[in-house]
């Protein structure tokens, strides 16, 4: 068919269906149909052509990074609640449900208050611990090393609090293998991290000098600035956090001082593993590593995943 003939056919279609071009979102390509007049036959409706007018809109790398940070903070809070719940069950199994006679349970409850764990979560887990068949939890760490398949040499430590060690190991190994990682020998990754109490403060909620002043007042060890990608605009840095590092004995004082100053905060999970030296990886490795961390955090037995990746 010649170009002039094609033009005549297309003009005829427009004349026949003056209001027939309906545009929808990129996820739903538009349909060529009649909005008014005689209804189309069922055959026509079922065989209507779907035409992409342009490529689907994809989330940019910067937006993806922000979404990843938000998701990580939400996951971190959920895991904090989960870990406290398991510690409560373990304490009750060992010494009973009364914090008056069970000093271990009393300590865990105080810790829950310090970490802003809702009261109903505490009460629910005390009740759950009394159920038949509920076993005590065992704390153990498993390590995963990335980089063998080109993931930038980043290392990870997976924190586990489980009542079934074999089940946890098998689940972690399956995820690590599926993502192209490799289980590391005991101790081969752990030495790259140090254990500390940490209070997280969003960069938009406080100035660095203000946090340094608070740290000095209460005797904290350090204030760690977040790693900021220089390619990202300033507004994209809003989901980054300062880390106030301190000893266990000073932790409550840091929390109290921040609350006194009206500064929003995110407590740690009882402690955090901080990398002694962080390594920078390329974008591809960063995405692969984040995917592995996300899948590990989906496992019920995993309470936290730490990495030395910037």
Q: Indicate whether 158 and 185 sit together in one domain.
A: yes
Residue ending a domain, choose from 99, 120, 136: 136
Give the total number of structural domains in the chain.
3
Q: pTM of this prediction? A: 0.64
pLDDT by residue for the chain (310 residues), tens only, comes to: 555 555 554 444 444 444 444 333 343 333 333 344 433 344 444 433 333 333 333 333 444 444 445 555 667 778 888 888 888 988 888 888 999 999 889 989 988 888 788 999 999 999 888 777 777 777 776 654 433 233 788 889 898 888 888 888 899 989 999 988 888 888 888 888 999 999 999 999 999 999 999 999 999 999 999 876 665 555 555 668 999 999 999 998 999 999 999 999 988 878 899 999 988 888 888 888 889 988 998 998 888 888 988 8
- Is 187 within a domain? yes
Q: Indicate whether 70 and 32 sit together in one domain.
A: no
Pairing, β 182-183 against β 138-145: antiparallel
Which of 180, 228, 221 shows the shortest CA–CA distance to 204?
228
- Is 233 within a domain? no
Q: Indicate whether 186 and 253 sit together in one domain.
A: yes
Report the alpha-carbon distance of residue 173 to residue 167 in Å, rounded: 10
CATH of the domain at 281: 3.30.70.980
Report the alpha-carbon distance of residue 150 to residue 157 in Å, rounded: 18
- Is 304 within a domain? yes
- Is 60 within a domain? no
Contact 279, 154 (CB under 8 A): yes
Residue ending a domain, choose from 115, 136, 157: 136
Contact 135, 301 (CB under 8 A): no
Q: Indicate whether 221 and 306 sit together in one domain.
A: yes
Q: Indicate whether 125 and 158 sit together in one domain.
A: no
- Is 39 within a domain? yes
Instruction: Tell me what pLDDT residue 229 has.
Output: 64
Q: Which residues contact 233 (CB under 8 A, 6 or more apart)?
A: 62
Q: Indicate whether 40 and 124 sit together in one domain.
A: no
Q: Which domain holds residue 281?
A: 141-227+238-310
Instruction: Tell me what pLDDT residue 152 has.
Output: 81
CA distances to 173, 187, 242 from 192, in Å: 21, 9, 21
Q: Indicate whether 305 and 179 sit together in one domain.
A: yes
Contact 86, 126 (CB under 8 A): no
Q: Indicate whether 145 and 131 sit together in one domain.
A: no
């Amino acid at each position: 068919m010649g170009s002039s003939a094609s033009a005549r056919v297309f003009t005829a279609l427009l004349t026949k269906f003056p209001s027939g071009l309906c545009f929808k979102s990129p996820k739903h390509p538009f349909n060529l149909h009649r909005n008014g007049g005689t209804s189309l036959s069922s055959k026509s409706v079922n065989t209507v052509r779907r035409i992409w007018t342009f490529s689907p809109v994809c989330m940019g790398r910067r937006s993806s990074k922000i979404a990843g940070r938000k998701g990580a903070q939400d996951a971190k809070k959920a895991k904090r609640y989960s870990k406290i719940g398991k510690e409560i069950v373990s304490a009750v199994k060992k010494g009973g449900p009364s914090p008056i006679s069970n000093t271990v349970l009393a300590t865990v409850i105080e810790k829950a208050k310090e970490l802003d764990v809702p009261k109903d979560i505490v009460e629910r887990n005390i009740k759950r611990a009394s159920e038949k068949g509920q076993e005590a939890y065992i704390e153990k760490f498993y390590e995963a090393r990335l980089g063998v398949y080109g993931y930038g040499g980043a290392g990870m430590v997976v924190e586990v609090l489980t009542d079934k060690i074999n089940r946890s190991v098998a689940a972690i190994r399956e995820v690590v293998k599926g993502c192209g990682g490799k289980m590391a020998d005991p101790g081969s990754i752990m030495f790259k991290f140090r254990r500390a109490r940490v209070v997280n403060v969003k960069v938009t909620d406080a100035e660095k000098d203000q946090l340094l002043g608070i740290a000095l007042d209460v005797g904290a060890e350090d204030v760690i600035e977040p790693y900021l990608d220089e390619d990202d605009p300033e507004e994209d840095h809003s989901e980054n956090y300062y880390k106030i590092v301190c000893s266990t004995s000073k932790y409550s004082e840091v929390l109290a001082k921040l609350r006194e100053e009206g500064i929003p905060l995110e407590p740690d999970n009882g402690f955090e593993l901080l990398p002694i030296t962080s390594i920078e990886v390329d974008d591809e490795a960063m995405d692969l590593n984040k995917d592995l961390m996300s899948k590990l955090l989906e496992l019920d037995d995993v309470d936290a995943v730490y990495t030395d990746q910037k």
